[in-house]
Amino acid sequence: MLQINRNFAAYLDAMNVVTVLVPKSYFNGEMQTFTLGMPYGERHPLTIERKTDLGESVKYECLCPIPIEIGREYLLYDHQGEATDLQIGAVVRTAAFDEQFFYDGDLGVVYTKKETTFRVWAPTATEAKVKLVQPQTNEVDYIPLKRLEKGVWTATVCGDLEGMYYTYVVCVNKIWREAVDPYAVAVSVNGEYGVIVDLAKTRTEKPPLPPLSSPTDAIIYEMHIRDFTIHPDSGVVHKGKYLGLTELDTKGPNHTTTGLSYLKELGITHVELLPFNDFAGIDERDPLRQYNWGYNPVHYNAPEGSYATDPTDPYARICELKRAIHTLQEYGIHVIMDVVYNHVYIREQSSFEKIVPGYYFRYDEYGNPANGTGVGNDIASERKMVRKWIVDSVRFWAEEYHVDGFRFDLMGILDIETMKAVRETLDALDPFILVFGEGWDLPTPLPSKQKATMHNAEQLPRIGYFNDYFRDSVKGSTFQLLDRGFALGNCDHREKVKVAISGSIRKKGGMFLHPLQTVNYVECHDNHTFWDKMEAANGHENEQTRKKRQKLATAIVLLSQGIPFLHSGQEFYRTKQGIDNSYNAPDSINQIDWVRKSEHEDDIRYIQGLIELRKSHRAFRFSTDEEINHYLFFLEPMPSSIIAYHLRGVEQYGPWRDIVVIHHNQEEKQDVFLPDEDKWYVLCDEVRSGTAPLFSVQKKISVDGIGTWVLVKQM
């Protein structure tokens, strides 16, 4: 490699544009001509198109008359004959670069006992090697990689390399950088190396699951692997681990059901697990010293080690995660994976930036890294090889780990075409795999019409969105702690809640094409729990009244059109002691409190009854806007404290011909007149719920206090 003194710098910023930066300390920044060529080769004059004084340096924008072969070394000479190397610059963010180097084949490692093949995409590298490390002896070997078309580098190494550690070492702009394979499926402790494993040893068949006729059949329960079992009284042996999710018949205080058995007992259809791909923020060698939600992604295709019984064993985390997923599915519970493709933990330390500097991330008009995510970097999903990586990763988790859904963190950062490709890829595997995410419109340098936001939901008809309109109408603003929604007693939100109950579809005044697109919730891992918000906003009310309000809010979630979403512990008034962002708070704040659960068994049974009720009749979970528009009618006039609606003539969808649902947000007794004088059977009142009639009424019902009432007319 030639040694160069960079008295001035040259960058390839487009396929035929070279930018030269000359400091004024070097000949006052004044250059007359530039020529370009390969070392010891013919030189070609550049045309200076623009000259700009930058204060301490002068910028020259030049047109290049010859095609540049990216991956080859070039030298740029000034009129004095002084040379500098041509560095790869902003050209990596051009459409021409994307087109020239898009590679649609397999990347990563292909292992057999006889040989292992390595493939890494590094089009801007001039040299590349794979570094092999024998973990027992730390013996190191470097294997040169051969450059193929499209910027792919490869090597095949004979022999059985199972268990060997590896990284890639690439040279870009005369700087050697070492990086873990972005496609690594196994990593060493704390993700320091990729590990060569035989995934065939870990595979099992996916157990049969109860079929879903529509995404609205799902009842999603969001949970964190560690939170769910780490409590000292969880009754789980493998506390905070993947295997903690596999233990059956565990008991907590007062013989309360915990863990897997509780999930089955509750009746939810899906668990959404906070990120379990390898993330930063926890030392896997001593995992209980720190806590993290997992939104610090490092290795996207390898499981997190802090949840494994032995983080130093690359197979342990793979096998134990697969066992957890398989066990949940055996008990009829689908598993959704929370994925964080919108950013990396630290851009400069990421494998993406080390292997292809400047390509994988968005930059603003001034060349600074974009920060729509708020964590220092935004993934440039609109670039072809970034989109391919996301789609390849999603496919990997669906095929290898049999996950049943994907929740996309900050999905609005990603582009519409990428999310379309994700949906199409999963449809080819299983069209019932759920895809939904956060459709917030964040300030990333991508045109609004290209963002996968809620405002563009019509372009992604089979992808769901967390519905903050629903959340804030029912609960009150997440970001204004004292703001109160309908469930907290504010009747001004009544009309908004009616729209939300109707699936937020356009025909009812909402933003979605159909109810499959709305994920209805009032609480999730982010921000204050519902209970903690009420402590601030409704602290003047006694505890019993606040419990009624939380049950009312959860009932609205479970009985509205769309996809219901519950935060783990919401059903027994989960509290994080007022902490709104507990991403790295200790277990004492984040853990599921099984003592608290044991104290609210009656309230949990109420939520179980609502879940049973939703499952029993498809009128609570229509899949089209036409059905909602045809069958759902609000009863008016009503007092402002009451929302009442009639699901009329719905006998083809379940065991009852007509259903009336009443939500009341005040303690004052009110009479609600029913649509006709026939006998109506009450299935749910303010303290009981289920599918068995509690009592019957005619003409009217008195709703006495805060709560939800469900009445049905028999066929």
Active site residues: 409, 438
Q: Are 450 and 412 in contact (CB under 8 A)?
A: no
- How far apart CA 85 and CA 68 sit, in angstroms, is 13
Pairing of strands 139-144, 175-179: unpaired
Closest-CA residue to 36 (of 28, 24, 45): 45
- With H, G, I as helix, E, B as strand and everything else as coil, classify residue 61: strand
Amino acid at 122: A
Helix (H, G, I), strand (E, B) or coil at 27: helix
Reduce the DSSP state of residue 594 to 3 states and report it.
helix
Angle at 139 between CA 137 and CA 144, to 5 degrees: 155
Spell out the SS3 assignment of 450-513.
HECCHHHHHHCCCCEEECHHHHHHHCCCCCCCCCCCHHHCCHHHHHHHHHHHCCCEHHHCCCEC
Q: How many helices (H) and strands (E) does the chain have?
A: 15, 35
Cis peptide before 637 (omega within 30 of 0): yes
**Distance of CA 666 to CAs 237, 490, 531, 540, 604, Å?**
44, 9, 18, 14, 22
Start-to-end C-alpha separation, the chain: 85
DSSP string, 587-620: HHHHS--HHHHHTTHHHHHHHHHHHHHHHH-GGG
* Distance in angstroms (rounded) separating the CA atoms of residues 489 and 535: 14
- At position 133, the amino acid (one-letter code) is V
Distance separating alpha carbons of residues 639 and 671, to the nearest angstrom: 10
**Angle 543-559/601-616 helices, nearest 10 degrees?**
20
d(CA 574, CA 577): 9
CA–CA separation, 267 and 244 (whole Å): 19
Residue 86's identity, in one-letter code, is: L
Q: Are 223 and 244 in contact (CB under 8 A)?
A: no
Q: How far apart are CA 401 and CA 319, in angstroms?
A: 10
Q: What angle do CA 704, 528, 605 make, to 5 degrees?
A: 45
Structure tokens at 332: 């009829």
Nearest to 221 by CA among 272, 294, 274: 272
Q: What SS3 class is residue 416?
A: helix
Q: What gap in Å lies between CA 270 and CA 401, rounded to an integer?
A: 16
β-strand pairing of 297-303 with 434-437: unpaired
Residue 654 CA neighbour count, 13 Å, CB half: 20
Angle between helices 384-400 and 416-429 (to 10 degrees): 30
